[in-house]
Amino acid sequence: MQPRDLSDHVAYEAGRGIEEVARELGRDPSEFIKLASNENPHGPSPAATVAIRETASDVSSYPKAAHADLTTAIASRWNVADEQVWLANGGDGAIDYLHRATLEPSDDILVPRPGFAYYGMSSRFHHGDVREYELSRADDFRQDADVVLDAYDDERVIWLTSPHNPTGSTMPLSEIERLADETDDETLVVVDEAYGEFADRESAIALIEGWDEFDARDDVAVLRTFSKAYGLAGVRLGYAVVPDEWADAYTRVNTPFAASELACRAGLAAIEDEEHVVRTVETTRESRAYMQDTIDAHVWESEGNFVLVDVGDASAVATEMQERGVIVRDCSSFGLPGCIRITCGTEDETERAVDTLNDVLADLDVDAADDPDAEVADP
């Protein structure tokens, strides 16, 4: 027998790791730095590392208490009810749960282009279809309600990414509210805030709970992760915050013990480690500013822990940077063949990345990189 027809499914393409590249090139891993996957340059929260070590002897038991404790801690962090927090195996697990709770066969979702491939992958897993709205390079990847509404056709779920990967742009809460107002009552607007800690703006949870000038809504959900600011990408821990009216759905769509004992205990420690998050955010902002000021190419403004750079020929530049020991993300897989994405690193890593990139641009004589209006294909 064969699996079902998966011809419409596109495999997720992750950033390349140091060990992988070093083996391929026959080099020592110590020669490389990796700024391709938007990981935390300071590593995991030290408190989380201790918690993982101390929890290791307890992994023979299911994580019921830890799961409940972390749910309560996150709910307290956002001042929502425990039932509004849907823990998951990474942010992608939360995407799956939201699709399980919303999609009937042949329902559509609306996703950004360029954007995170897993939105569409998950929809297709659940027999949904995928449509796209374009974030235009010509408009510096601007995000507002009109950009989405121009493509909207009563989709069941709309995905927003704010800050957006790979561009770093954000959508104001007032525009998210307007989008929710002007779409069907049965359309769920999901705001993916995987990079939310790095943006100087309030979370869209304000729209769910009716904080400040906003009215509480039942058609907005928010995604968050421990992978970025908390440095826990390897333990796979994320969550969704949903309207109160959605609370009961979680127990019907989640996998048993949706996050592991190690992940939950790490999350409990990390969420209290404010010093680590503050340090990470400060490093990110310094790195972003340095790259914006010193890269000899057009760099888009970003509120994530990365920047998008116009280099003219992403494949050639990324390959040459890799040869020189700096691994960055070729954004061709996002539909941006003229751009690379560079994760914000430590001061030393950032300086090395900038020096390497500038040398590569000069050596390859990439003229398009000097001109933000140069003709490079839109995604």
| Domain segments of the chain as ranges | 18-44+274-370, 46-270
Pick the CATH number of 18-44+274-370 from 2.60.120.260, 3.90.1150.10, 1.10.3720.10, 2.40.37.10: 3.90.1150.10
pLDDT, residue 370, reads 45
Q: Dump pLDDT digits (tens) for 166-209.
A: 999 999 999 999 999 999 999 999 999 999 999 999 999 999 99
What is 327-367 written as a DSSP string?
Answer: E-EEGGGGT-TTEEEEE---HHHHHHHHHHHHHHHHHHT-G
* Consecutive H or E run containing 266: helix 261-270
Q: Which residue has the higher pLDDT, 261 or 20?
A: 261
Task: Find, among 121, 123, 74, 118, the residue nearest to 103 by Cα.
Answer: 123
d(CA 234, CA 243): 29
Inform me whether the pLDDT recorded for 213 exceeds 80.
Answer: yes
The mean pLDDT value for 131-149 works out to: 97
Half-sphere exposure of 241 (CA within 13 A, CB side): 25
Q: Is the pLDDT of residue 57 over 90?
A: yes
Band the pLDDT of 26: cuts 50, 70, 90: confident
Give yes or no for residue 12 having a pLDDT over 80.
no
> How much is the CA Rg of the chain, to the nearest whole Å?
21
Minimum mean pLDDT range among 148-152, 171-175, 250-254: 250-254
The first and second tokens of residue 64, run together, are 């019921």
Kindly tell me if the per-residue pLDDT of 368 is higher than 70: no
Query: What is the rounded average pLDDT of the residues 85-106?
Result: 95
pLDDT for the residue 14: 75
Confidence at 257, pLDDT banded by 50, 70, 90: confident
**Average pLDDT in the 284-307 region?**
98
pTM for this model (two decimals): 0.93
Taking 60 as the threshold, does the pLDDT of residue 371 lie above it? no
Average pLDDT over residues 348-359: 98
Residues found in the chain:
379
The reported pLDDT for the residue numbered 372 is: 42
pLDDT at 366: 61
Q: What is the mean pLDDT of residues 39-68?
A: 94
Could you say which architecture CATH assigns to the domain 46-270? 3-Layer(aba) Sandwich (3.40)
- What is the average pLDDT across 30-54? 96
More confident residue, 139 or 31: 139
